[in-house]
Structure 1
């Protein structure tokens, strides 16, 4: 669902934030907790995910981000790969529920996003997200926090593919150069920049907010000068 912009004019800057690893705790932390909680060695889990993705001509999460498989079929293939490659018998049913169990939201970053909106920026969510994980996303950051939400499974494209950046810029109503992606993954940052966007590599909420704040200051300067002329 798209939420109307707060101002009738074209925004000076469209800030598109990632979800996993940005509005949640770091993905590596979640991997480690998942591995420890369910007794699946971390290296084996990551390799099984890579191999299943490779078998379908994509990367680890590409299988379910679009999706090529639903979550149940994907988790079953992971179980089979873990047994075939590592001799591990694992139960990975209800993967999404387990993945998000106890996973905290990044309230500090959510507060920064709200402040950008208050200053007149467009703020959107741009996420590679399987359809069955939408309900978990909504618990941490529902649509009311954003001017628009673009999820891979809804649009049939995913980061770092250029089409998802073209689509997001159109939905924000701005040129690519007026968009900034905040993301924790190098390949997505590179994809955004290749699409003509600006990008901020997320490491923590305050660091990212400082960098986005500077970009917003620059974007707003022409409007400030016009008002004072």
Structure 2
């Protein structure tokens, strides 16, 4: 008797993993780079800008971006509060109108990472977008990378929760139809990586597209279903 693979008896070749990628800092250039470029563009010192964002967030009981990620304020109101703090605390007179338009001006998508995501889908993985994103920035996100690249999209403004809160990870896993340990977050922020791990997920701390792709590929290889042999 010989052993050979029977297609009917073989396990599915689809990956059991759900790969959830962040947007800002992963599918875009690093956030620190964008901060520097934006600071120069609007003529506001980088330290003052970051501190104003932190102070406005703190005043609303959250962090720098939590104010508009849920959102607690619309973009225009948030920009007005930033201008007030910049003038009152730092003596900086600034015009931050149309903040999002100027934040995304000339900001390219990370094409290398988008290509890797397509390769993961080709291997049968579920690929989703999991982002802390203000509603007014959604059109910029779609311009950079449209919805067709993803099996599902979970954004903070739409679900009322944001990374690293446990609820957004619970929701994303349910939407993917995967157990927490079958979900992988790819994110550039350590606090979000830690939040995913605390929620029972796997996680990759993103530095660049090739580094993250190698780590994801290793996870997919380890999770790949094993074809069963049939004795004939």
TM more than 0.5: yes
1:9 Cα deviation after fit: 9.8
Residue 4 of structure 2 is matched in structure 1 by none
Residue 169 of structure 1 is matched in structure 2 by 173
Counterpart contact for 1:11–1:174, Cα < 8 Å = no
1:224 Cα deviation after fit: 2.9
Per-residue Cα deviation, 1:118-147 (whole angstroms, up to 9, x for no partner): 000000000000000000000111110000
Matched position secondary structure for 1:225: coil
Map 1:20-31; keep pairs closer than 5 Å: 20-31=24-35
Residue 66 of structure 1 is matched in structure 2 by 70
User: Are positions 1:32 and 2:36 aligned together?
Assistant: yes
User: Are positions 1:88 and 2:92 aligned together?
Assistant: yes
Counterpart contact for 2:70–2:157, Cα < 8 Å = yes
Between Structure 1 and Structure 2, the one with more helix by share is 1
Residue 116 of structure 1 is matched in structure 2 by 120
Per-residue Cα deviation, 1:34-79 (whole angstroms, up to 9, x for no partner): 0111111000000000000000000000000000000000000000
User: Are positions 1:105 and 2:101 aligned together?
Assistant: no
- Distance in 2 between the 1:186 and 1:141 partners? 24
Residue 135 of structure 1 is matched in structure 2 by 139
Matched position secondary structure for 1:224: coil
Residue 3 of structure 1 is matched in structure 2 by none
Unmatched tracts of structure 2, length 5 or more:
1-11
- In our comparison, the structure showing a higher alpha carbon Rg is 2
Matched position secondary structure for 1:200: strand
Q: TM-score, normalised by structure 2?
A: 0.92
- Distance in 1 between the 2:216 and 2:197 partners? 15
Per-residue Cα deviation, 1:139-192 (whole angstroms, up to 9, x for no partner): 111110000000000000000000000000000000000000000001000000
Q: TM-score, normalised by structure 1?
A: 0.93
Q: Given the alignment, which residue of 198, 216, 224 partners 2:220?
A: 216
Aligned residues: 219
- Distance in 2 between the 1:139 and 1:108 partners? 17
User: Are positions 1:225 and 2:215 aligned together?
Assistant: no
Residue 20 of structure 2 is matched in structure 1 by 16
Residue 58 of structure 2 is matched in structure 1 by 54
* RMSD between superposed Cα atoms in Å: 1.3
- Distance in 2 between the 1:225 and 1:56 partners? 54
Residue 5 of structure 1 is matched in structure 2 by none
Residue 150 of structure 2 is matched in structure 1 by 146
Counterpart contact for 1:124–1:148, Cα < 8 Å = yes
1:219 Cα deviation after fit: 1.0
Matched position secondary structure for 2:175: helix
- Distance in 2 between the 1:178 and 1:225 partners? 19
Moved more, 9-18 or 167-176: 9-18
Matched position secondary structure for 2:227: helix
Unmatched tracts of structure 1, length 5 or more:
1-7
